[in-house]
Amino acid sequence: MQVSIKSYAKVNIFLKISQKRENYHEIVSRFVRVKNLYDTISFIPNNETNEFNLIGDFGCKLEDNTIYKAFLQLRKYCPKIDAFFRVYSIKVEKNIPEFAGLGGGSSNVAAFLTLANKHFNLYYKKEKLAKIGAKIGADVPFFIYEYDSANVTGVGEIVQEFKEEPLNIEVITPKDIKCHTGKVFTCFRNEFYKQISKDKSNKLLSMKSSEILNKLSLENANDLYLPAVKLYPKLKEYAKQDCFFSGSGSSFFKVI
Ligand SMILES: C[C@@](CO)(OP(=O)(O)O)[C@H](O)COP(=O)(O)OP(=O)(O)OC[C@H]1O[C@@H](n2ccc(N)nc2=O)[C@H](O)[C@@H]1O
Ligand SMILES: Nc1ncnc2c1ncn2[C@@H]1O[C@H](COP(=O)(O)OP(=O)(O)O)[C@@H](O)[C@H]1O
């Protein structure tokens, strides 16, 4: 029997930094799931390798793949999955571009953990899955909760649903620019560092996404935009009217 799950992309309607936390940065952000952009992850009953087998078009080695890392974490809690994934393969139909600020790697972790939780009847609560996944990527908790729209704070571990009319989002990802999240944060810290005040962040967190996008400019909506442009100047060519910047880039998006 084949089982599958959709693994959606996200965009950050706004993304501000509130403070440093060791090598990381605490963010204040509105995350929105992109309903028309997703990978599909399936467990398929076909594995001739007799070891963990991940099939898909990835730009990294197996050891670096977030799905493999999620498997290693989950195996600590549930050793029986080891035997299962010697008989079954994991197949990923990859549509979310990598290095694109769309959270593809984190989304895949959440989808894998959610599908495994169901398939192996683990009955783990979302809080537990979010904790397991957060060790692998900062955006995993958002994807675990499966909200269409949420306020995300901390380094991504605090997720609160934001109820609003779903937005129709069009994502524009430059084909030739790959933004490295760690480098963009480092450039922000060294050359553009600023912190949003509690008052301003509370105001943004209470506003509808459509209102936020009407009020803020591209630069003001995302603190990582200017450092990303400094590192990857070609990004500017994509900064068209009504477009906003997602995460650490390289994707832009607009509401259609
Ligand atoms: C910026 C955001 C906003 O949604 O999205 P993306 O652009 O990646 O999609 C995320 O916070 C990114 O999350 P994610 O891509 O999972 O980051 P991680 O792999 O955990 O971290 C990569 C590196 O980025 C830096 N980092 C990441 C998150 C954070 N809040 N502060 C940081 O300083 C750290 O140097 C870390 O080593
Ligand atoms: N399952 C996965 N899907 C996408 N990228 C992955 C995955 N596993 C590891 N990566 C690696 O994660 C890095 C980018 O992460 P990704 O989530 O795609 O981008 P971003 O952080 O810009 O949203 C790249 O080095 C990519 O090769």
Q: pLDDT, tens digit, for every residue of 219-243?
A: 999 999 999 999 999 999 999 989 9
Ligand 2 atom closest to residue 60's alpha carbon, by position in its atom list: 27
For residue 100, say whether it is annotated as part of any ligand binding site.
yes
Taking a C-beta distance cutoff of 8 angstroms, is the pair 124, 74 a contact? no
Mean residue pLDDT of the chain comes to 97
- The Cβ-side half-sphere exposure at 144, using a 13 Å CA radius, reads 28
Confidence check: pLDDT of 9 > 70: yes
Tell me which residue of 253, 245, 236, 101 sits closest to 178, measured CA to CA.
101
Which atom of ligand 1 has the smallest separation from the CA of 27?
30
- The one catalytic residue in 10, 16, 39, 69 is 10
Q: Which domain holds residue 89?
A: 3-255
Render pLDDT for 26-54 as a digit per residue (tens, 0 to 9).
999 999 999 999 999 999 999 999 999 99
Annotated catalytic residue 139: yes
- Number of domains comprising the chain: 1
Query: For position 1, what pLDDT does the model report?
Result: 66
Query: How far is Cα of residue 144 from the mean position of the Cα atoms in its chain?
Result: 10
Asked whether the CA dihedral 186, 140, 255, 208 is positive or negative, the reply is: negative
User: CA dihedral in degrees (131, 157, 170, 41; nearest 10)?
Assistant: 0
Ligand 1 pocket member 250 (CB < 6 A): no
Sole residue written with tokens 């609560």 = 125
The protein residue whose alpha carbon is closest to atom 9 in ligand 1 is 101
CATH number for the domain that contains residue 30: 3.30.230.10
Residue 254 pLDDT > 80: yes
3 Cβ contact list (under 8 Å, min separation 6): 42, 43, 115, 118, 119
Please provide the distance, in angstroms rounded to a whole number, between the alpha carbons at the two ends of the chain. 39
Is residue 194 a contact partner of residue 220, using CB atoms and an 8 Å limit?
A: no
Ligand 1 proximity of 97 Cβ (cutoff 6 Å): no
**In the block, which residue shows the tokens 């509401």?**
255
123: nearest Cα among 170, 82, 77 = 77
| Whether residue 10 lies in the annotated active site | yes
Round to whole Å and give the CA distance between 100 and 246. Answer: 8
Beta-carbon contacts of 63 under 8 Å, excluding residues fewer than 6 positions away, are: none
Cβ of 64 closer than 6 Å to ligand 2, yes or no, is: yes
CA 25 / ligand 1 centre spacing (Å): 8
pTM of the entire structure? 0.97
Cα-trace Rg, the chain: 18
What is the percent of the chain with per-residue pLDDT over 70, rounded to a whole number?
A: 99
pLDDT digits (tens, 9 = 90+) for 132-172: 999 999 999 999 999 999 999 999 999 999 999 999 999 99
The Cα 24–Cα 36 span in angstroms is: 30
